[in-house]
Amino acid sequence: QVQLVESGGGLVQAGGSLRLSCAASGRTFSSGIYVMGWFRQAPGKDREFVAAITRGGTRANYTDAVLGRFTISRDNAKITVYLQMNSLKPEDTAVYYCAADSTGWNFPHEYSYWGQGTQVTVSS
């Protein structure tokens, strides 16, 4: 079993930055075998893909809406994945979720493990 705990959300003005962290625990996670992803869900909307990173951290994928502004990274020694969010916009406001799976990529149904979410609010 894998447990994921997000942190780093909060309230920020448009143009500001936040860094989200997702700490993972579980017997098999320390081997870095999981693809890690970030998703977000705004009120009244479906959960949407934000970014994902491969097991070794050598390849990442982003939704077009955040490309060039957000950066996903991982530290397998600390068993943590990060989402650096720069130039934030009001439309980035959502609950952000961390997810993990052995073969997931950019669809929610591909991920078996989810965190509880952290709120990000961007004011205009």
Q: Write out the two tokens for 23.
A: 């700490």
User: Residues of the chain with pLDDT > 90: what percent?
Assistant: 76
> With 60 as the cut, is the pLDDT of residue 5 above it?
yes
pLDDT category at 30 given cuts 50, 70, 90 is low
> What's the Cα-to-Cα distance from 52 to each of 13, 15, 56, 61, 124, rounded to whole Å?
25, 23, 12, 5, 27
Greater pLDDT, 21 or 1: 21
Element (H, E) at 72: strand 70-75
pLDDT digits 0-9 by tens, 50-64: 999 998 889 999 999
pLDDT digits 0-9 by tens, 92-118: 999 999 999 888 899 999 998 999 999
Q: Is 97 helix (H, G, I), strand (E, B) or coil?
A: strand
Q: Which residues pair with 80 in a beta bridge?
A: 23, 75
Q: What pLDDT score was predicted for residue 29?
A: 59
- Please, what is the end-to-end C-alpha distance for the chain in angstroms? 40
Q: What pLDDT score was predicted for residue 50?
A: 98
> With 70 as the cut, is the pLDDT of residue 2 above it?
yes
